[in-house]
Amino acid sequence: MEHKTKELNKSCHKIEFIPDIPKDAKKIVLVGNPNVGKSVFFQSLTGMYVDVSNFPGTTVDINYGKYNENYVIDTPGVYGVSSFNDEEIVARDVILNADVVINIVDALHMERDLFLTQQIIDMGKPIVIALNMMDEVRKNGIEIDIEKLSELLGVEIIPTIAIKNKGIVELKEAITRARLGNRDESLLDEMEAYRSIISQYSEALLILEDDEEILRRYNITKPVSRERIYRNRREYIDNIINRVTIETNKGISFVTRLSRYMLYPLTGIPILIAVLYLMYQFIGVFVAQTIVDITEGIIMGNFYLNFIKGIFEGFLSSDSILGTILIGEFGLLTMVPIYIIGLLLPLVIGFYFLLSIMEDTGYLPRVATLVDRSLTKIGLNGKAIIPMILGFGCVTMATITTRILGSRRERVIATALLGLTIPCSAQLGVIAGLIAPLGLKYLVLYILTITIVFVLSGTVLNRFLPGKSSSLLIDLPSLRLPKAKNIAQKTFTKAWMFLKEAAPLFMLGSFVITIMQITGLLDGVQNIFAPITEAWLKLPKEAATAFIMGIIRRDFGAAGLTSLALTPMQTIISLIVITLFVPCIAAILVIFKERSWQESIGIWLGSFIIAFLVGGILAQILL
């Protein structure tokens, strides 16, 4: 179900973040750090009535659903209420509008989680705490005096093991008993001073904590007291934790050892290679070949295509202008749905499925840590490995994910490298098919060339782009077995979000291509390419068609080569050119949406030039 959300109106003091929730309904907001099992609570509270809403101005989506007469709203996992990134901004505004907060705390990571808890208490929100993952506490030889903790914080605490459904009933009962906790009294007078000018009392705390957006909203000068307040809160929380926990330390567990193996290069790299190999088997072989053969080849490419043509061909000639636009080679009703549903959907679901598993097990932050050092050499930090891995699934999807990177500079570098060097899974399938019969020597030449281009372009961009890249700072959560229900929900939410964003762009792209085809522009471009193809790349003239097709769909480009009679060396050179060549039409439109037009044109033209330059140099040396 789709919900249109209103633009966040900054001049208006009321934040209408979800228009569907009636004004008089009570808003119960789930808050917690990342990876504390929040979504399990959300599911058990709302059952199946889950809606997803995209938060205005961000890519962060929030789930909400009905619980009795009230509404339960999920928030993205955050370490505190402030505005360091998109997730925090969303969480902050939802929490500000909350009537009751259910705070999920990872019992194993209280020193991290209780900072957020105390911040919500200081905001003056009624709160009840679910102290989750109690089973792991015992396993790690830690004891927590829950009664004492509850007394010190001044709110009710329900011990839970959410994935085993323990404590959920008790938590539901406790919602009505949510109350204000023990607040930092030194802040009360200061907060009171702002009461008359703000619409939500809780905003006063954020003003004191120098939250720039809230300050701007009310046109208040920065009080510069964030550090002092954070510091006091930190000491207060550490003191509480010392009073309520006893560590019996039973030595290093297997999980701790496994975590070390994943981080340490000597063992971490083989583990990573094994994981990537399994991913390749799943995505590149199983999904991209077996599944897509059925979804694209049979269901969409055969049944659907015949069905749609059968409907239209009675009264609309596919040679007419409208016919070409709707049901032609790149038609809005032919190629667009076949591509999106037959090819993209299975790949994107497959990739988000694997990514969700890596996320929920806690493996992803460890991979980021492992590769951090190498990536700093090309102006990125370890986090950039996430869009890079996703790029092997779909470059369009990966380009959207570059938003998680810390600075604009890093987003430009990552986007450029994705567009230039990372072949998406659809293309990878065709490339693998063409290289496999040629033998190891050619495979090595291909991989080596692409890797060199990757490293060189990264190094050059790092050298010449102004500004400074951010450094890695990442929380390493405990390693855990993922829960199927969570994985499924995450996968489908993300896949749906991706399609919602990419499908209109893809429709626009195919429309543009059709217009180019009708007006004869496509042939013109093909002819311009011909001399470059023959003299410089030493390939037959027809190879130009394959490159042009690559603008539309990257696997089309690669597949166009199969029909040509090429020597093995010519095959490799044309595959290298096709790989480095401009990203597909959907990816390039996403790039234009995400980056400034100067950056986007630079990336697009750059990949053009580099593809022909590298291909040509190889051709001149090797052919």
Partner 1 sequence: MTLDKVQKGQQIQIQKIADSSLRDQIIRLGIYEGAKVICAEKIGGGPVIIKNRMQEIAIGDGLAKKINIEII
Interaction site with partner 1 (CB under 8 A): 79-80, 82, 84, 108-109, 111-112, 115-116, 140, 142, 226-227, 230-231, 234, 238, 241, 247, 259-260, 263-265, 365, 368-370, 372-373, 376, 381-382, 470-476, 478
Q: How far is the CB of 372 from partner 1 (least distance, A)?
A: 5
What is the C-alpha separation between 333 and 511, in angstroms, rounded?
11
CA-CA distance, 326 to 309, in Å (whole number)?
A: 10
Rounded to 5°, the CA angle 381-384-387 comes to 180
Cα first-last separation, the chain: 56
Specify the residue, 116 or 271, whose C-beta has the smaller distance to partner 1: 116
Q: How far is the CB of 546 from partner 1 (least distance, A)?
A: 41
**Whole-angstrom distance, CA of residue 540 vs CA of residue 571:** 11
Which of 51, 238 has the CB closer to partner 1? 238
Minimum CB distance to partner 1, residue 234 (Å): 5
Structure tokens at 139: 């396993």
Q: How far is the CB of 257 from partner 1 (least distance, A)?
A: 12
Q: Which of residues 61 and 106 has its CB atom nearest to partner 1 in the complex?
A: 106
Instruction: State whether residue 235 is helix, strand or coil.
Output: helix
For partner 1, the closer CB: 109 or 541: 109
Distance of CA 129 to the CA centre of its chain: 29
- Residue among 81 and 158 whose Cβ is closer to partner 1: 81
Q: Quick check: 461 and 378 in contact, CB under 8 A?
A: yes
Q: DSSP readout, 50-68? A: -EEEEPTTSS-EEEEEEET
Return the number of the residue (274 or 476) whose C-beta is nearest partner 1.
Answer: 476
Which lies closer to partner 1 via its Cβ, residue 375 or residue 575? Answer: 375
How many other CB atoms are there within 10 angstroms of residue 283's CB atom? 24
| Euclidean distance between CA atoms 114 and 137, whole angstroms | 16
β-pair partners for 65? 72
Alpha carbon separation from 201 to 124, 194, 608 (Å, rounded) = 8, 8, 55
- Listed residue (43, 42, 60, 61) closest to 52, CA to CA: 61
Residues 6+ apart with CB under 8 A from 93: 8, 15, 17, 55
Least distance to partner 1 from the beta carbon of 468, Å?
A: 9
CA distance 391 to 418: 6
Phi, psi of 565 (to 5 degrees): -90, 100
How far apart, in whole angstroms, are the C-alpha atoms of residue 413 and residue 377?
12
Residue 366 or 494: which CB sits closer to partner 1?
366
Find the shortest distance in angstroms from Cβ 471 to partner 1. Answer: 3
Instruction: Read off φ and ψ for residue 267, nearest 5 degrees.
Output: -100, -30
Residue 22 beta carbon to partner 1: minimum distance, rounded to whole angstroms: 34
Instruction: Please give the Cα distance from 537 to 618 (Å, whole number).
Output: 8
Enumerate the β-bridge partners of residue 104.
32, 130
**Alpha-carbon gap, residue 322 to 319, rounded angstroms:** 8
Q: How far is the CB of 475 from partner 1 (least distance, A)?
A: 6
8 A C-beta contact, residue 128 and residue 197: no
Nearest distance, CB of residue 583 and partner 1, angstroms: 29
Question: Considering beta carbons, is residue 269 or 436 the nearer one to partner 1?
Answer: 269
Q: Which is nearer to partner 1, 13 or 231 (CB)?
A: 231
Residue 465 CB, nearest distance to partner 1 (Å)? 16
Q: Considering only CA atoms, which of 128, 122, 162, 165 is closest in space to residue 29?
A: 128
Q: Are 471 and 611 in contact (CB under 8 A)?
A: no
Cβ proximity to partner 1, 115 vs 363, nearer residue: 115
Task: For partner 1, give the closer residue by CB, 31 or 430.
Answer: 31
Q: How far is the CB of 247 from partner 1 (least distance, A)?
A: 8
For the bound state, the minimum distance from the C-beta of residue 368 to partner 1, rounded and expressed in Å, comes to 7
The C-alpha atoms of residue 546 and residue 556 are separated, in whole angstroms, by 7
